[in-house]
A and B are shown apart, each in its own frame.
Chain A
Amino acid sequence: MPIETSTPAGDLSTSATTAGSDDSKVVFDVRELDVYYGEFRAVRDVNLEVRQHEITAFIGPSGCGKSTVLRCFDRMNDLIESARVDGKILYHGVDLYDPRIDPVEVRKRIGMVFQKPNPFPKSIYDNIAFGPRLSGNKGNLDDIVEQALRSAALWDEVKDRLKKSAMGLSGGQQQRLCIARAIAVEPEVILMDEPCSALDPIATARIEDLMQELKSDFTILIVTHNMQQAARVSDRTAFFTTEVNSESDTRTGVLVEFDSTDKIFSAPADERTENYVTGRFG
Chain B
Amino acid sequence: MADLMDQDVERLLLDATTSRSRKFKNRLASIWMLGALIVAVVPLALVIGYVLMKGVGQLSVAWFTEDLPTITRKAGGGMGPAIVGTLLITLVAALMAIPLGILGAIYLHEYGGKGRTARLIRFMADVMTGVPSIVMGLFVYTVWTLTFGLNGFGGSLALGCLMLPIIIRTTEEMLRLVPDELRQASYALGNRKWRTILTVVLPAAFGGITSGVMIAIARAAGETAPLVFTIGAARNLNLNIFEGPMTALSVQIFGNAQTPFEAAQARAWGAALTLVAIVFAMTILARVVSSRVARRHAA
Contacts and interface: CB of A to CB of B under 8 A. Distances in A.
Interface of A: 74, 76, 79, 104-109, 111-112, 114, 116, 118-122, 130-131, 134, 165, 167-168, 178, 181-182, 185
Interface stretch (B116-124, B134-142, B177-185): B177-185
A18 B113 CA distance: 48
B299 A134 contact: no
Contact of A120 (B187, B204, B299): B204
Contacts of B190: 104-109, 131, 134, 185
B200 interface: yes
Interface stretch (B18-26, B27-35, B38-46, B191-199): B191-199
24 contacts: A74-B188, A76-B184, A79-B187, A104-B190, A105-B190, A106-B190, A107-B188, A107-B190, A111-B188, A111-B189, A116-B181, A118-B182, A119-B185, A121-B203, A121-B296, A121-B297, A130-B189, A131-B189, A134-B191, A134-B195, A167-B297, A178-B185, A181-B189, A185-B189
A122 B187 contact: no
Nearest to A109: B190
A134 B181 CA distance: 19
Given A105-B190, A107-B190, 8 more contacts: A104-B187, A104-B191, A108-B189, A120-B182, A121-B204, A121-B297, A165-B299, A182-B189
Interface in B231-260: none
**Interface core residue of B186, B190, B203 (most chain A CB under 10 Å):** B190
Given A130-B199, A165-B299, A167-B299, A118 B184 contact: yes
Nearest to A122: B203
Contacts of B199: 130
Contacts of B192: 104
Contacts of B195: 134
B137 to A, nearest CB: 41
Interface in B242-299: 296-297, 299
Chain B at the A interface: mostly helix, strand, loop or mixed? Answer: helix
A96 B187 CA distance: 16
Given A79-B184, A130-B199, A165-B299, A118 B179 contact: yes
B182 to A, nearest CB: 6
Contacts of B182: 118, 120-121
Contacts of B187: 76, 79, 104, 107
Nearest to B190: A108
Chain A at the B interface: mostly helix, strand, loop or mixed? Answer: helix
A118 B187 CA distance: 12
Contacts of B203: 121-122
Q: How large is the interface on B (under 10, 10 to 19, 20 to 34, 35 or more residues)?
A: 20 to 34
A120 B188 CA distance: 13
Contacts of A112: 188
Nearest to B188: A112
Question: Which 7 pairs of residues, A with B, have the shortest CB-CB distance?
Answer: A108-B190, A112-B188, A118-B181, A107-B190, A131-B189, A118-B185, A121-B204
A168 B295 CA distance: 13
Nearest to B298: A167
Nearest to A111: B188
B9 to A, nearest CB: 41
Nearest to A119: B185
A116 B185 CA distance: 11
A112 B204 CA distance: 21
A268 B186 CA distance: 39
**Interface core residue of A74, A104, A119 (most chain B CB under 10 Å):** A104
B189 A120 contact: no
Contacts of B191: 104, 131, 134
A76 B200 CA distance: 18
Contacts of A104: 187, 190-192
Interface string B135-166: 00000000000000000000000000000000
Nearest to B189: A131
Interface in B77-93: none
B7 to A, nearest CB: 39
Contacts of A182: 188-189
Nearest to A187: B190
B200 A120 contact: yes
A79 B299 CA distance: 29
Contacts of A118: 179, 181-182, 184-185
A197 B275 CA distance: 56
A194 to B, nearest CB: 13
Contacts of A109: 190
A119 B184 CA distance: 11
Nearest to B178: A121
Contacts of A185: 189-190
Nearest to A185: B189
A15 B200 CA distance: 44
B133 to A, nearest CB: 37
A182 B297 CA distance: 23
A110 to B, nearest CB: 9
Contacts of B200: 120
